[in-house]
Amino acid sequence: MAIIGEIRKRPTLILVIIGLALLAFVLGEAIAQQFGGGGEDEKTIMINGESIEPEQQEMLRSMTTFWGKRIQENKRGQDRTLSAFDQRGAAQYGWLDFAETMMVETQNDLLGIETSDEELELLFYKGDTMQVYNYMVGRLLKWDEIDTAREKGLDLFSYGKIRYEKPQRRLEIRAMRQKDKYVSLLRSGFYATNLEAERDFAASNDVRKIKYAYKAFSELPSDKYIPSDEEIKAYYKEHKSDPEYRVKAGKVLKVVTVNMEPSEKNKTDQYNVLNNTIKKNYKNVMLINDSAFVAQYKGVKKDPFGRPSPVVRQMDSATFVQSFPQEYYDSVFSVGKDTTMVFGPYEENGAYNLLKARVHHQRRVRHILIKPRDNYDQAGFALLDSIYRTVKEDTSMFAQLARENSIDPGSAANGGDMGFIPFQGWVAPFARYAFTAEVGDVGVVRSQFGYHIMNITDEAEADSMKFVTTALLSKPIMAQGSTVAKYKDEAKNFAIDSYDMGLEALADSLGYFVSELKVSESDLAIQGYEDISLLYKFFKNGVAGDVSSVYSLKDKNQLIIVKIDKTYEDGPMDEESALEQMKNDLINEKKAEQLKNEISGKSDLASIAQTWGVQIANKDLRFSDASIAGIRQSMDNPALDNAELYAVGAVFGKDANDGGSGMMDNVLIGKEGVYMVQVLSEQKGEGIDYVDTKDRLQRQYSNSISSMSDLNRKVGLYHALKKYIEVEDNR
């Protein structure tokens, strides 16, 4: 533990990461190879010139695993395989958590924050059950052998105690406990003053009643306002340091796309394999439910679909006929009873499709709705589990348990019975189970309303109640074998020749498509090519002028070759890159000047609105509003927001009681258009409660600190610590 002692002594420590092999260290040799890692030096993480201890190595690995599992849980659909982009994200997020923990260690020593063995033992053996649950399950260690615990019949709290016995786990839980204490101490130090409360209350409650005319720049034809080259260059010199014209370090990539056309033999071979497989397994395809149907043909090595993209939908006759061939519609909606049909393979949009259509009638459903207070409500989940097990074993108990426990007021009194229901109008998880499960099935689904214990009791027979559940499996028709080899040879020759002949000129002569991408050095992936790890490595390590190898795009008949066209550093855009953006801004400036000139000498809003050809609008404007009109806002472009906030500030800077007409002295120029505003009256907010308002502000301030570990809101504390402790990434 020598390194931890050294950290505590030196709060201005520099954290140094050596090489891209942070990812290799965290994720293992397989991922290391993807990123070009593998050297011994690259596998060492250094802090202040010393290798971290094995316990810290394990902590970093555990944190990275946590983020990988979180990313995996949030992936949609049945395929939750982590892509190369996901793995890079997990590695980066794990590192951020680890670095954060190490930085907090430096502050704990300065502030005298300690966590003793006795404290942890009291917490885990005599402390608050929910806090233990939160540490051991809801936080860092959620996925650590948790399935094994369930197999042994242990509740999560008991399993948490068992895991606490492991020395590595004690180290990790101590680090989390220390960080929580540090954050709690910071939170308790926030204080909101009366002045802050008054300003916050006024921003939300003081109202300026206004009328305004707004003219959007987009309503004027741009070709009449094109600036000259000299005007653009002068504008560049004046504004090149403005925030909207600054860029982060990155590279400009030229991406050449080579389209591969599958041969007729490729098409015939793939059709035959698919068709023969379906014929041999037709009986099973007909019998299994839609979920199993999808699972059977997804991700299996012998599967002729490869990795198809299943689309399971419920639809009426009008939707069906719009989605599938007319002959399939005629077959499906001519039957008078529930049945299953399989159509295909048929070719459509460059793919072979297989359609399974299950004809249904309305279902009779009953449910028991249970809603635990939160993810840590053990009593709520225990009740849910108990009721489900009971009715799964004996459905005769369903009505009684629904009346006693269901929180759905519309059905609880009827024993949970909802009668015959159509497939439209229900939340997706509820509808999916109601119309894909078999009559008699009992299951649990989760929706925004809680957990539904569902029982399908009957099925209507009337034709008027008919609808269809479709499971569509689509496999792109891919170029294969010698076809791919031919195109790859041509692409390799192109990459070599491009050095002498020029990439874009050569691509144009061969009919290849060229696009441009600007990629920041801080990006975890190249947009649109997230899973091509070798391309990402080329981007990170290459220099201007380099041309890449030939890369294949997954599930597409395309190859790409990439050239690093140029690199750029943090700071102002170069003149060439800024040209088009500044040109558009200059066009809008000219439009604003034109609109101002049109209303010169006009002092009433009606004539101004008539001149601009717009309607007068009314608004109760507050200082907390982002804009006067419904202006497009951009979270990624503060300059855009500020341009429109300026207009709000200008209105509140106008004296509403000057005895005049209330008309603003000047046209307000925003980023998207111009305003002319008349202030009618001012109404002050009344009844400020200083205690409640200051309380809310203090919670707001402290929550920004609590979100230290939330990587989507990583603000304030993390970056302040990073700057103070001089954290550096020397990769």
* Residue 554 or residue 166, greater confidence: 554
| Segment 36-46 mean pLDDT | 43
485 & 537 share domain: yes
Residue 447: strand pairing partners: 450
> What is the DSSP-derived secondary structure letter of residue 465?
G
Does any domain span residue 201?
A: no
Q: Are 378 and 371 in contact (CB under 8 A)?
A: no
Q: What is the pLDDT of residue 35?
A: 28
Q: What is the pLDDT of residue 712?
A: 41
257 & 170 share domain: no
452 & 590 share domain: no
* Residue 571 or residue 293, greater confidence: 571
Residue 566: strand pairing partners: 252
350 & 393 share domain: no
Per-residue model confidence as pLDDT tens digits over 132-178:
656 655 554 444 454 454 445 555 556 556 666 667 777 777 877 88
* Residue 207 or residue 4, greater confidence: 207
* Residue 366 or residue 49, greater confidence: 366
Place of tokens 């990313």: 71
7 & 136 share domain: yes
Is the pLDDT confidence value at 85 over 90? Answer: no
219 & 235 share domain: yes
Q: Indicate the SS3 state at residue 649.
A: helix
40 & 169 share domain: yes
Q: What is the pLDDT of residue 299?
A: 36
Q: Are 218 and 632 in contact (CB under 8 A)?
A: no
Domain residue limits at 554 = 250-261+480-569
* Residue 610 or residue 45, greater confidence: 610
Query: Which pair of tokens denotes residue 614?
Result: 């717009």
Helices and strands (DSSP H and E) totals, the chain: 28, 21
Give CA separation, 368 vs 110, 432, 679, in Å. Answer: 54, 17, 56
Task: State how beta strands 250-259 and 616-622 pair.
Answer: unpaired
CATH number (domain holding residue 408): 3.10.50.40
Number of domains making up the chain: 5
> What is the DSSP-derived secondary structure letter of residue 40?
T
162 & 31 share domain: yes
CATH number (domain holding residue 513): 3.10.50
Per-residue model confidence as pLDDT tens digits over 344-359:
888 988 888 888 887 7
Q: Where are the beta strands (DSSP E) in 390-512?
A: 417-421, 442-447, 450-459, 466-476
367 & 341 share domain: no
Is the pLDDT confidence value at 492 over 90? Answer: yes
* Residue 288 or residue 224, greater confidence: 224
Looking at 536, 569, 602, which one is the last position of a domain? 569
163 & 17 share domain: yes
Is the pLDDT confidence value at 280 over 50? Answer: yes
Between vectors from CA 53 to CA 48 and to CA 54, what angle results, nearest 5°? 150
What is the percentage of the chain residues whose pLDDT exceeds 90?
24
Place of tokens 């399935």: 147
256 & 389 share domain: no
223 & 164 share domain: no
Query: What's the whole-number average pLDDT of the chain?
Result: 76
